[in-house]
Amino acid sequence: MTNMAYDTALRWAGATDVGQVRSNNQDRYIGRPQAGLWAVADGMGGHQGGEIASQLACEALAERFGEHTIIGLVDAIEAANAAVHQAGSEDPELAGMGTTVVAIALVRDNDDEVLAVANVGDSRAYRLADGVLEQLTEDHSLVADMVREGSLSAEEAATHPQRNILTRVLGVYDEVPVDVITVSPHHGDRYLLCSDGLFNEVPEEAIASVLRRLVDPAEAADELVQRAVQSGGRDNVTVLLVDVVEDGGRSERASAALGDTASGLDSHERTRDLGGEPTGSLGTGEHLAPYSGGAYADAGLEVDDDEAAPAHRMGGRSGRRGRRGDAGPRHRTKPPRRFTWRVALFILLVLGVLGGAFATIQWYGRAAYFVGFSGDEVAIFRGRPGGLLWIDPERVDVVGLRRGDVPQDTLDILDAGKEQPSLDEARAYVQELEDRVAELQGDDEAEADGSTDGSTTTLPTTTTTRGTTTSSTAAL
């Protein structure tokens, strides 16, 4: 186990503004040069939920970042997620609050010091190297996924109506995946952490111009914030800059190696994603902060090499024009455990509701009877006339009546189906129908036979004579 001290010197500055539309600032940022940690968080959720979420995330992140390794940074972000999630679970008024987060930390990895860049949500990290601005993080948003899939262009994403829908934030679930890459710090490099209030208002070309022109990080941060506000300021805007002012001779060694090999790819190692949404400042530090462990001292921070990095899969991504030959392993955390007891309970409840609905429909569809036509025959059916969803009527009895026997005023009723609450009542209705048919048939036969008993019928007649009226009966 070898103890090693950091020899990278960094300076930083941060600025934030509520903007021109919002009534409160839900962004937070922290600068902990003694711990080698900087972060921006952008909160969301109700009038106060966003402020509280970003505040809790930054506080937990600063408190739990004790192990200065890649995994130590990820663990601290996971602790921030747990703190926000617990607060939202305990207070109904804060339920559903969340925050993005983007953080940069100086850590030890495989006997080397590197900058670990972690993010969850759409707060971003950029690097300006050799005058070229490069986005280091990937947004966890709906439109960013569509751009990566090729179904949406970057220009279309910038104005898409669903560009504010995030696919990953801190605090909503009890677990969250965290993306992390590592980059080698080189003298002159400048790192920008920001909330979406900056890049949604200021084009990247203009951001790069300010970062190239203004050397002092405080001046550059202030101008970027003011540009975002003047361009509309429709959201809170937060900017945090970290400059590499000393890299322990890494640049010279890399340049020499590059000259010998005529090659060199700058790769970033991706580990996990974390979230947070930018909001106000939780702390300040001197803008010129040579980072040497726990204090500004030459003694430096001691790190156990055995705990510096987990097992990982090699990988990489091309970097800044092959300038230095940065390289780093790629780390990926396991996906979050989504199937919790809450999910299981929800699934059981849904299944119970669906099962109850199915049973109710099944019962209702079979609980009645009706009298109708089966072809030209009158029959008794179980079910509902015309059927119900997947339940077709079932013929249970055929009556000795045909369509031609049924009275005209009953045809439409039987065509539609005469519903009855039970089989007995359906049979009783059929009996009434049969009786009526028999009665009508008897009347028809009587009319056909006529009168045959030989009786004489007499009708009164009236005979009129002048001056006198008399009535008499004539035999017919």
- Residues 437-453 have pLDDT tens digits of 888 877 766 666 654 44
Query: How remote is the C-alpha of 114 from its chain's centroid?
Result: 34
Higher confidence at residue 388 or residue 452?
Answer: 388
183 bridge partner residues: 115
Q: What is the spatial distance between Cα 135 and Cα 122, in angstroms, rounded to a whole number?
A: 12
The structural domains of the chain, ordered by start, are 9-338 (3.60.40.10), 344-447 (no CATH)
Confidence (pLDDT) at 140: 94
Rounded mean pLDDT, 410-438: 87
pLDDT band, residue 355 (cuts 50/70/90): confident
Residue 378 confidence (pLDDT) above 70: yes
Confidence (pLDDT) at 283: 36
Confidence (pLDDT) at 360: 83
Mean pLDDT, the chain, integer: 77
Higher confidence at residue 180 or residue 343?
Answer: 180
Confidence (pLDDT) at 448: 67
Backbone angles phi, psi at 394, to 5 degrees: -115, 125
Confidence (pLDDT) at 215: 96
Confidence (pLDDT) at 469: 35
Percent of the chain exceeding pLDDT 90 equals 42
DSSP class per residue in 423-460 = HHHHHHHHHHHHHHHHHHHHHHHHHHH---S-----EE
| Among the listed residues 106, 245, 96, 119, the one whose alpha carbon sits nearest the alpha carbon of residue 177 | 119
Residue 133 confidence (pLDDT) above 60: yes
Confidence (pLDDT) at 111: 81
Residue 206 confidence (pLDDT) above 50: yes
pLDDT band, residue 346 (cuts 50/70/90): confident
What DSSP character marks residue 223? Answer: H
- Find the range with the poorest average confidence among 75-89, 178-192, 297-311, 336-350: 297-311
Confidence (pLDDT) at 25: 96
pLDDT band, residue 305 (cuts 50/70/90): very low
Rounded mean pLDDT, 381-391: 84
pLDDT digits 0-9 by tens, 53-90: 999 999 999 999 999 999 999 999 999 999 999 999 99
- Find the range with the poorest average confidence among 16-25, 110-119, 323-332: 323-332
This model's pTM is above 0.75 = no
| Residues ≥6 apart with Cβ < 8 Å to 258 | 264, 322, 323, 324, 325
Higher confidence at residue 345 or residue 459?
Answer: 345
Confidence (pLDDT) at 223: 98
pLDDT digits 0-9 by tens, 136-159: 999 998 888 888 888 887 777 777
Higher confidence at residue 296 or residue 173?
Answer: 173
pLDDT band, residue 340 (cuts 50/70/90): low
- Coil, helix or strand at residue 58: helix
Confidence (pLDDT) at 281: 35
- Find the range with the poorest average confidence among 292-301, 400-409, 438-447: 292-301
